[in-house]
């Protein structure tokens, strides 16, 4: 007597197409367990917060891939391990930034007030005073630096891309721009001081000298950013313009520059944000003063970075007021630089050519 196998034949629809997967809340659960494991020696053995965080991170990096390997297999486990390491590297890179911002905000926020923004340090000893004169000086010095650097940088980039391809002069300019990119800021300050000593004699200090020093640092940034933006303009646009009989200079001003305007303005704003926080060249040539100076071509001019430096290194007696003003000015400077970066993004988005699709 023969028996008949009654087991159903596997069909395509009955076979699982994917392996089992961990629930979506699995990483959160592992993170909670890892945090508990890290906190345990901190409570029992008195470990510091750094040791507890390192232990929790190690537990998370090991536990999640092991659990994933048992349920999801080796490929998914490796993917989770690599993803965890990438996110860990990102968090590690952000820690100094968050620590810096938290330190500046916690120390500088108590100094902010209406008087802090509207008063200078003229005839102020001890408590009181503000950074009005330093804000005005920073705006004037940076504006002059931009007025010098932007035309020079943009025209140099136009020559390199549109006229100087393959020419010896273009190679020399490119080499000099590379050298200027690596110049230390203190050297730029010494250059500006040496230049002004020729005309005004030793001991000269003026805000325009600070603008010259900052322009030395700003020009290579403008050249590089403009150069890269001009390279992105398709040659077909230039050739179409030439085919219509438009001369080269008009093609550049009416076709090439408007097409790359968003990137050029973004690069300019980032260059301004870059030099607004420079301290060393302004210490040498712009100097410092307690009063407000609106004339960049006469006498010393206070700026925020120099104000921060002197307020922290020479806070006066009692020192707590000077150091509080230094932290407050540092917070204002960070907000200004961040605002310039956000403005650069907004300008870039506004001037980006619309595709119409």
What is the chain's pLDDT, residue by residue, as a tens digit (357 residues)?
444 555 556 555 555 666 788 888 888 999 999 999 888 888 888 888 888 888 898 999 899 989 888 888 888 889 999 999 999 899 889 988 899 999 999 998 988 988 889 888 888 777 888 899 999 999 999 999 999 999 999 999 999 999 988 889 999 999 999 888 888 899 999 999 999 999 988 888 899 999 999 999 999 999 999 999 999 888 888 899 999 988 999 999 988 988 888 888 888 888 888 888 888 899 999 888 888 889 889 888 999 999 999 988 888 778 888 888 999 999 999 999 888 888 888 877 777 766 554
Who's near 68: CB < 8 A, 6+ residues apart?
22, 26, 76, 77, 80
| Fold of the domain spanning 117-351 | MetI-like fold (1.10.3720)
Who's near 112: CB < 8 A, 6+ residues apart?
328, 331, 332
- Distance, in Å, from the CA atom of 106 to the CA atom of 235, rounded to the nearest integer, reads 52
What is the distance between the terminal CA atoms of the chain, rounded to a whole angstrom?
A: 76
3-state secondary structure of 20: coil
Phi, psi of 128 (to 5 degrees): 100, -170
Extract the tokens encoding 326: 């230094």
Supply the pLDDT for residue 1. 44
Start and end residues for every CATH 1.10.3720.10 domain found in the chain: 117-351
The angle subtended at Cα 220 by Cα 217 and Cα 226, nearest 5°, is 135
Instruction: Please choose, from the candidates 67, 69, 41, the residue with its C-alpha nearest in 3D space to the C-alpha of residue 54.
Output: 41
Do 19 and 73 touch, CB atoms closer than 8 A? yes
Continuous segment of H or E residues that includes residue 208 = helix 207-232
Extract the tokens encoding 275: 């030099």
Instruction: Please choose, from the candidates 134, 174, 151, the residue with its C-alpha nearest in 3D space to the C-alpha of residue 276.
Output: 134
């Amino acid at each position: 007597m023969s028996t008949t196998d009654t087991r159903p034949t596997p069909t395509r629809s009955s076979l699982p197409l994917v392996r089992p997967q961990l629930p979506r809340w699995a990483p959160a659960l592992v993170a909670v367990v890892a945090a508990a494991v890290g906190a345990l020696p901190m409570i029992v053995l008195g470990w510091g917060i750094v040791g507890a965080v390192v232990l929790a991170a190690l537990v998370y990096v090991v536990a999640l891939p092991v659990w994933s390997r048992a349920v999801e297999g080796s490929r998914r486990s490796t993917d989770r391990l690599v993803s965890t390491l990438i996110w860990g590297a990102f968090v590690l890179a952000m820690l100094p930034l968050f620590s810096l911002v938290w330190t500046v905000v916690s120390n500088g926020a108590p100094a902010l007030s209406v008087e802090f923004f509207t008063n200078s340090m003229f005839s102020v000893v001890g408590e009181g005073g503000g950074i009005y004169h330093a804000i005005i000086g920073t705006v004037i010095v940076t504006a002059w630096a931009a007025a010098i650097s932007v035309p020079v940088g943009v025209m140099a980039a136009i020559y390199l891309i549109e006229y100087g391809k393959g020419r010896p002069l273009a190679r020399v300019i490119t080499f000099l721009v590379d050298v200027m990119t690596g110049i230390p800021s203190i050297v730029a300050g010494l250059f500006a001081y040496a230049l002004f000593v020729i005309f005004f004699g030793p001991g000269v200090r003026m805000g325009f000298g600070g603008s010259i020093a900052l322009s030395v640092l700003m020009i290579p940034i403008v050249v590089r950013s403009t150069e890269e933006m001009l390279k992105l303009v398709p040659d077909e646009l230039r050739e179409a313009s030439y085919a219509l009989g438009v001369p080269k200079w008009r093609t550049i001003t009416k076709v090439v520059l408007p097409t790359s305007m968003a990137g050029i303005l973004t690069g300019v704003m980032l260059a301004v944000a870059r030099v607004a926080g420079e301290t060393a060249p302004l210490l040498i040539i712009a100097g410092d003063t307690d009063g407000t100076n609106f004339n960049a071509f006469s006498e010393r001019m206070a700026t925020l970075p120099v104000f921060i430096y002197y307020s922290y290194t020479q806070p006066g007696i009692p020192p707590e007021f000077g150091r509080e003003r230094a932290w407050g000015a540092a917070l204002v400077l960070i907000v200004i630089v961040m605002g310039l970066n956000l403005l650069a993004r907004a300008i870039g988005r506004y001037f980006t050519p619309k595709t119409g699709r």
